[in-house]
Each structure stands twice: as C-alpha cells, then as structure tokens.
C-alpha cells in the first residue's frame, strides 16, 4: 500500500510499504481523509520531536475493515484520537494525561493516517455517523485540541474574545467562542480568512494589531493565540484587558523565543496559559461535528492524493489555505 513517510528531517516520501496488521486491541482502518497540520511541517523541518521512518498524519478518520475481535463493528466510520497515554505515570495519575511521559502519538511516534490503511488502538477510536461527509471526520482532532484550549480560557457569556490566526484552529475557536455566548473578533491578515471568520460567527475582524486595538481599546477578556508565530504571541498581552486571560494554542518551533514583559503581566494580573493536545476532549469534538454544531465544510481548502502529500507537507501552505485534506482513494 502507499504511505507518506518522514524518512528523516527534510526527507519525506510517498512510498510502497507492507499492509499493517492490527495487533492485540487494535483495529485496521481504511483511511478516508487525513488533514495536513502545521505540526506535520514542523516535523518535516525538525522543529518538533519525531521518530524517523514513521508514516505521518495525526488528523484522520476512516472505515474499520478489520475489527480484530474488538467491540467496534466492521464498516464503522471512526475518528482516531492519536494520543495513547499510559495511564500509569505521575502525570496520568494526576489526570494530566496530555502530559503523559509515555504518550505514543500516532502520526509521530507510530504510523499514522497519510496511508491507505492504518492499524490503530481500538480504545482511541470514536465512532461517527455513517451519513457524515468522509472529509469531516478529519477535523475531530484539531477541534479536540481547540476545545482543550477554550476550556483553559473559560470564556463566559458576554465576554470579549479575540482569536489571533485565521487557520483551522482559529476558525474553530471562533465558533466555540460564539457558542459560549461571547463577542468575538478575529485577527488575521488574510482578507479571505477574515470573510470566512465572519461567515462562521466572528462579530468583528481585524487585519493588524493596531486595527484590533482601535476596535477594542480596553482589550479582550480572553485572547486565544492560534497562529503559532512569535510576533503574535508577543502582541497578545497588549491586546488583553487588565485582569484578562491569554491562551497559547499555536505551536511554535522548538527553540523559538518570545519577548514578554513579566512586570506588565504582573501589574495587570494577566493569566497566561499554554494548551497542549486534547485530554478527554476527542469524544466531545466528534459529537460537535457529527451533529453539525461546528461547521467544518468551509474549512476544506483543497483535497489531494497521497502522491501529492509529500510535496504539500514539504512546501509552505499557500496563502489563505485553511486545511488541505489527503484523500488516499484519490487518483492523480
């Protein structure tokens, strides 16, 4: 079968590999859709820890073709939570499973969804409706991560929430903030993504830090940084009102440094949180997508085949792209 593998830093290829066989407690999934995440590009460039020689792809869904004696029926459509924590380390015992010292992340430490088939832990698979658009299941993982960040931010009805970044995480965060009953502004330079943000519920949009400050001079109660850029992390305190909160959801490259003024955070008592992956949120994400509460169809910028996946990951995302989805069944 075909799979897109990170052979080494800077070397990604779509190659023929042996069909995986599900081990104890695993199922075999025929992948229908897998999203290309910014983390995949970080992995390619060596900016995020990885295991060489693994098939990438941690945002995917598909059809169960071998249930291997598990309770999941053959033919079920499932979304795959890529994080498989141990349940026994100190962090797991404290309930901080996303910080598990022994987490085995599918698409990073074990073979993932940029392939025709993937062997996957049945305990981490969540069923989706048979009627759901196959592409939509690939958004459950990014929505689960966004849910965790918004949980940390604890937005309250009537608060002002500023979302920085018009990519998939930012546009999902816009929708979650609106569901929380907040007034929402989206800050992104992309005019296309500004309009998409409005369509998904943003009350206001801004193309620059200055424009955001003009519209909300006192700042936002909650700022959610979704761009993963040093400059937008650094600007976040200046856009937060006194007594407000910041959540960093964007992933910056390892080794990146950001200049922050601690006295400002102290004197204005601004809380700054960092959100990592998806503890206990994947099932909620699957339900929100399954029942249409969160709209993901507008977030699909393009669909590509496995043969195109390596180049799409190795190259910067095109301007205005929200999410490229790899569809293994597509032919060139």
> Using one digit for the tens of pLDDT, what is the confidence trace for 62-74?
999 999 999 999 9
Both tokens of 115, joined, read: 């392939």
How many CA within 13 A on the CB side of residue 96?
Answer: 9
Write out pLDDT tens, residues 121-137.
999 999 999 999 999 99
Q: What's the pLDDT at 331?
A: 83
The Cα-based distances of 315 to 81, 172, 302 in angstroms read 26, 24, 15
For the stretch 214-229, what's the b/e string if a residue is b when 16 or more beta carbons lie within 10 angstroms of its beta carbon? eebeebbbbbbbbbbb
Write down the pLDDT at residue 214. Answer: 98
In this structure, what token pair is assigned to residue 121?
A: 């832990």
Buried b (16+ CB within 10 A) or exposed e, 298-322: ebbbeebbbebbbebbeeebeeebb
Task: State yes or no: pLDDT of 332 exceeds 90.
Answer: no
**What confidence score (pLDDT) does residue 307 get?**
96
Average pLDDT for residues 167-180, to the nearest whole number? 98
Reported as type and span, the H/E element at residue 311 is helix 306-314
Using an 8 Å Cβ cutoff, are 126 and 281 in contact? no
pLDDT at position 73, please?
A: 96
- Percent of the chain residues topping a pLDDT of 90: 98
Q: Which CATH fold topology does 144-274 show?
A: Rossmann fold (3.40.50)
Edge-to-edge strand ranges of the sheet holding 2-8: 11-16, 2-8, 54-55
What was the pLDDT predicted at 193?
A: 97
Structure tokens at 214: 């003009």
φ, ψ of residue 196 in degrees (nearest 5): -65, -40
Confidence of residue 140 (pLDDT cuts 50, 70, 90): very high
- How does pLDDT run across 252-274, given as a tens digit for each residue? 999 999 999 999 999 999 999 99
Mean pLDDT for 229-236 is 98
Return d(Cα 72, Cα 126) in angstroms, integer: 9
**pLDDT tens for each residue of 96-123:** 999 999 999 999 999 999 999 999 999 9
**Angle formed by the axes of helices 282-290 and 140-153, nearest 10°:** 110
Closest alpha carbon to 149 in 272, 47, 332: 272
pLDDT in tens, 47-94: 998 899 999 999 999 999 999 999 999 999 999 999 999 999 999 999
The mean pLDDT value of the chain amounts to 97
pLDDT attached to residue 30: 98
Examine the pLDDT at 5 and tell me if it is beyond 80. Answer: yes
For 286, the token pair is 């699957």
Distance, CA of 112 to CA of 315 (rounded, Å): 20
List 31's β-bridge partners, or say none.
Answer: 62
**Residue 213: pLDDT above 90?**
yes
State the pLDDT at residue 174: 98
* pLDDT level of residue 219 (50, 70, 90 thresholds): very high
Give the start-to-end residue ranges of the domains of the chain: 2-131+296-326, 144-274
> Is it the case that residue 152 has pLDDT exceeding 90?
yes
Torsions phi, psi for 84 (to 5 deg): -120, 90
Fold for 2-131+296-326, please state it: Quinone Oxidoreductase; Chain A, domain 1 (3.90.180)
């Amino acid at each position: 079968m075909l799979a897109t593998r990170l052979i080494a830093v800077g070397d990604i290829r779509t190659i023929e590999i042996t069909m995986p066989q599900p081990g104890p407690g695993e199922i075999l999934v025929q992948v229908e859709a897998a999203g290309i995440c910014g983390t995949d590009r970080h992995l390619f460039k060596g900016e995020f820890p990885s295991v060489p020689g693994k098939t990438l792809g941690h945002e995917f869904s598909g059809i169960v073709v071998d249930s291997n004696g598990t309770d999941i029926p053959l033919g079920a459509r499932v979304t795959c939570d890529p994080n498989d924590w141990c349940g026994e380390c100190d962090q797991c015992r404290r309930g901080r499973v996303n910080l598990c010292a022994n987490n085995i992340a599918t698409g990073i430490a074990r073979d993932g969804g940029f392939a025709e088939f993937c062997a996957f832990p049945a305990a981490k698979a969540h069923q989706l409706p048979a009627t759901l658009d196959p592409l939509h299941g690939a958004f459950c993982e990014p929505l689960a991560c966004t849910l965790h960040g918004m949980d940390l931010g604890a937005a309250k009805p009537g608060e002002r929430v500023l979302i920085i970044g018009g990519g998939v995480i930012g546009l999902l965060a816009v929708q979650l903030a609106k569901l929380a009953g907040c007034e929402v502004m989206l800050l992104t330079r992309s005019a296309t993504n500004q309009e998409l943000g409005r369509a998904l519920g943003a009350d206001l949009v801004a193309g620059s830090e200055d424009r955001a400050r003009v519209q909300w001079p006192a700042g936002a109660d909650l700022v959610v940084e979704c761009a993963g850029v040093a400059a937008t992390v650094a600007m976040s305190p200046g856009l937060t009102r006194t007594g407000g909160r910041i959540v960093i959801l964007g992933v910056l490259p390892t080794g990146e440094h950001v200049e922050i003024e601690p006295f400002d955070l102290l004197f204005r008592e601004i809380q700054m949180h960092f959100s990592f992956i998806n503890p206990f949120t994947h099932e909620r994400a699957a339900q929100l997508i399954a029942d249409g509460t969160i709209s993901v169809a507008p977030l699909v910028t393009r669909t590509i085949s496995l043969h195109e996946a390596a180049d799409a990951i190795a190259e910067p995302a095109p301007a205005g792209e929200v999410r490229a989805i790899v569809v293994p069944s597509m032919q060139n």
